[in-house]
Amino acid sequence: MQIRDLPYSDPGLPDARSGPRFLLWLGRNQLGGQLKALAWGLLHFGSIAGLPYAVGVAVQAVLDRSGARLALTGALIGLLGVAIALGDTMLHRTAVTNWVTTSARVQQLLARKTARLGSALTRRVAAGEVVAVSTGDVEKIGWFVEALSRFAAAASTVVLVCVGLLVYQPALGVVVAVGIPVLAFAVLPLLPRATSRADFQREKAGRATELASDTVAGLRVLRGIGGEELFLDRYRRASQEVRVAAVRSARMWAAISAIQVLMPGLLLIAVVWHGVHLAREGRITVGELVTVYSAVMMLNYPLRHFEEIAMAYSFSRPSAKRAARVLSLERTAKPAAVPQSATPGSRTTPNPRTADQAEKPHRPRPSRRPGPRGVPPTGVRESAVPPSGARDAEVPPTGGRGSEVPPNGVRSSGSAVADAAEHAWTGGARPTGDLYDPVTGLLAPAGRLTAVVCGDPDEAGRLAERLGGHPAFEDAAGLPSVRLGAVALDDLPLSEARAAVLVQDKDPVLLSGTLRALLDVPASGAVTPEEALAAAQCADVLDALAQASVDDDPMSAHLTERGRSLSGGQRQRLALARSLVTDPEALVLDEPTSAVDSHTEARIGDGVRSLRTGRTTVLLTSSPLLLDRAEHVVFLSDGEVSAVGTHRELLHSEPRYRAVVTRETHEERAGVGAFAHFDIEETA
């Protein structure tokens, strides 16, 4: 793998069980590059190891007044010099390639995991830790992988030199062969303490990075409440802790470096003293003494790589541990056991429950009147009631696409919208019809504005994830797929599913760039950016951006990262406009107006209803203003449809719906219920 071939078409499936296992997996995937670096390293270090022998022969040739041997050794030294230069150049080139390609592989793995988990990632791991892993930790992991081959070459050279000296001059070779292992392993007792201090330093640095990231993300809020100094003091303390930890770690590594300078010096003194004694006795020649002396001096260079590999491992191990922790995150939702019943008319559609929901006793639900346009009666969801447009058609199987394929649906909160631009519709006619979820029984009629109210706030997020084909349900074998008309979304290729259904998260992200680039997303072309901005009530946003633009053109105004230069309501409305521009067949909006005032919210409801005429639109909201503008309202409780009707109808007929929408207390609910009962009796 060369740098020009990046990015990887498939970075692979990592072994994320632990940090060392992840490093080992990376090393195995870099085997070709490791072998190349090892070969060039052996040439480089081997040529350096050959110099002492050539120098010793040259010295002896001068003493013996042998011009032929001197010329021969001179040519040998020149050849070794060329080999050293070539080996060093190619070793550096190959090692850097290993470093860059390893870092790129880790970054691709992290990007893929981030795309699959979406907003769930920052709920499991702090945003600052994700930043630390994807920046500094990636480099440290790459450092260890590229240093591994150079260490292997250096260690092989040390072994070869020791064996060569034993053969060349046994009397001195024994001293070197005994002393070199002592040099190599003298620092081992200090490595655990050095590693623990390095881990502690990385932990403190990671916490400081998290604090800085979270502070920047909430800077507008902090300024609003006057909390800048409080968080600045916290960051000062955190940075001082990092400094102290770094100094303690540096002291330990300085001690290790000092030992690796002191021990070779002591070995050299021992070799020279013993060698001079042997030369006086005539047991060795001056040339042999120079050869052994030069060999010991040369061994200082490859021995330095023992310290480097120890440092690389101690710094990369916690980094690999953090990366493995992120890469091992999975969002799986296992379906609860669904009792099978042969009773005619009983529900046969599986309904996943969480552990706490599964323990609740079953409460029979009274049947209510059927909703409009053939919606099945609430409380009795028939598995044989598919969406409109699919009732008379043959229903294809609902098998999933496989866990290795990303989820269907497009989320406007990140790069998924931009990625969808690379895909085109490859099938026949686009799927149309009702948006139907057989798990919850939700049926959003085709071409209408449907509002969904959930009794549990977390239920809305889970429903949005399911409608968008979230990876939380990839491993839930047996769950039927969401359907658009007669088509199961799980059976569609990713690009086609994205073109059919778009889900806007509760907290959408605006990427940096111009407003024109923000709205340049894959779209049908039926809705212009101007129409989408008008429907999302972005007039004041455009005025503010026009004032910030050099040419008074709001479309060319630059938006900062995550739209931090805008207020929460402005960001939310721009994200809504981006979703409206795409004009998908089915649009799912999760609380699209939670950060705007009531007057603007009412106008947004009118604008969305007008602009989305003839298109399937689902609003996950509890806002009375939006609910009153919906053509069709569905109330979900405990993961299934509980009531269907209009907003005004459900306010009078469904106490739980009224409690969620009006935020009434238990006492208020009892009073309103008694009054409603009395009013109904009087009317009767």
Query: Which of 259-268, 307-316, 318-327, 664-673 has the weakest average pLDDT?
Result: 664-673
Same domain, 303 and 441: no
Of 282, 300, 327, which residue sits at a domain end? 327
Q: pTM higher than 0.85 for the full model?
A: no
Q: Are 177 and 146 in contact (CB under 8 A)?
A: no
- Local confidence band at 217 (pLDDT 50, 70, 90 cut-offs): low
Residue 679 has a pLDDT of 41
The pLDDT value recorded for residue 291 is 80
Please state, as a whole number, how many other Cβ atoms lie within 10 Å of the Cβ of residue 352.
20
Do 244 and 127 have their domain in common?
Answer: yes
**Same domain, residue pair 437 and 319:** no
Residue 2 lies in a domain: no
- Among the residue ranges 191-195, 370-374, 566-570, 622-626, the one predicted with the least confidence is 370-374
**411 and 543, same domain (yes or no):** yes
Question: Is the pLDDT score of 476 beyond 70?
Answer: no
- 154 and 269 both lie in a single domain: yes
* Backbone torsions φ then ψ of 499, nearest 5 degrees: -70, -20
Confirm whether 47 is domain-assigned. Answer: yes
For residue 213, is pLDDT > 90?
A: no
Asked if residues 411 and 469 have their Cβ atoms less than 8 Å apart, the reply is no
Does any domain span residue 668? no
Each residue of 260-287: b (16+ CB within 10 Å) or e?
beebbeebbebbeebbeebeeeeebbeb
- Give the per-residue pLDDT at 196: 80
Whether residues 322 and 417 fall in one domain: no
Q: Same domain, yes or no, for 108 and 216? A: yes
Look at residue 215 in the predicted model and tell me its pLDDT.
66
Helix (H, G, I), strand (E, B) or coil at 642: strand
pLDDT, tens digit, 9 for 90 and up, residues 335-344: 433 333 333 3
pLDDT at res. 125: 64
> The domain containing residue 74 runs over which residues?
10-327
Residue matched to tokens 């238990």? 666
Asked, for residue 541, whether it belongs to a domain, the answer is yes
CA 574 distance to own-chain centroid: 25
Q: Collapsing DSSP states into helix, strand and coil, what is residue 484?
A: strand
For residue 226, name the pLDDT band (cuts at 50, 70, 90): low
What pLDDT digit, counting tens, does each position of 47-66 carry? 888 888 888 788 888 888 88
For the ranges 285-289, 392-396, 488-492, the lowest mean pLDDT is seen at 392-396
- Structure confidence at residue 222 (pLDDT): 55
* pLDDT computed for residue 314 by the predictor: 76
With contact defined as beta carbons under 8 Å apart, do 326 and 469 qualify?
no
For residue 260, what pLDDT is reported?
Answer: 76
Helix axes 228-280, 286-327, angle to 10 degrees: 160
* Residues 421, 315 share a domain: no
Mean pLDDT confidence for 81-101: 90
Which of 106-120, 387-401, 634-648 has the highest average model confidence (pLDDT)? Answer: 634-648
* Domain match, 300 and 419 both: no
What pLDDT, on the 0 to 100 scale, is given for residue 200?
A: 83
Q: Is residue 102 part of a domain?
A: yes
* pLDDT per position as a tens digit, 529-572: 999 999 999 998 998 888 877 778 889 888 877 777 788 888 89
Q: 399 pLDDT exceeds 50?
A: no
- The share of the chain scoring above pLDDT 70, in percent, equals 76
Establish if 370 belongs to a structural domain: no
Can you give the CATH number for the domain in which 65 is found?
A: 1.20.1560.10
Q: How confident is the model at residue 331 (pLDDT cuts 50, 70, 90)?
A: low
Continuous segment of H or E residues that includes residue 487: strand 487-488
Which bin fits 14, alpha (ψ -120 to 50), beta or left (φ > 0)? beta
The per-residue pLDDT for 676 is 44
Instruction: Classify each residue of 365-386 as buried b or exposed e, where b means 16 or more C-beta atoms within 10 Å of its C-beta.
Output: eeebeebeeebbebbbbeeebb
> In this model, does residue 643 exceed pLDDT 90?
yes
Query: Residue 670: is its pLDDT beyond 60?
Result: no
Is 50 exceeded by the pLDDT of residue 682? no
| 124: confidence class by pLDDT, cuts 50, 70, 90 | low
Total domains in the fold of the chain: 2
**What one-letter code names the amino acid at 502?**
L
Q: Is residue 100 scored above 70 in pLDDT?
A: yes
Domain membership of residue 140 (yes or no) is: yes
- The CATH number covering residue 537 comes to 3.40.50.300
Q: Are residues 437 and 293 in the same domain?
A: no
More confident residue, 616 or 355: 616
> 191-195 contacts: CB < 8 A, separation 24 or more?
191/256, 191/310, 191/314, 193/252, 194/249, 194/252, 194/253, 194/256, 194/310, 194/314, 195/313, 195/314, 195/317
| pLDDT over 90 percentage in the chain | 15
**Residue 474: per-residue pLDDT:** 43
pLDDT value, residue 373: 34
Among residues 327, 349, 372, which one ends one of the domains?
A: 327
Q: Are residues 288 and 413 in the same domain?
A: no
Give the whole-angstrom CA distance, residue 599 versus residue 597: 6
Per-residue pLDDT, averaged over 502-513, amounts to 82
pLDDT at 489 over 80: yes
Planar angle of CA 314, 319, 320, nearest 5 degrees: 95
How does pLDDT run across 355-364, given as a tens digit for each residue?
333 333 333 3
Q: Tell me the pLDDT of the chain averaged across its residues.
A: 75
pLDDT for the residue 170: 85
For the cut 90, the answer to whether the pLDDT of residue 270 exceeds it is: no
Is position 113 within any domain? yes
Q: Are 115 and 263 members of one domain?
A: yes
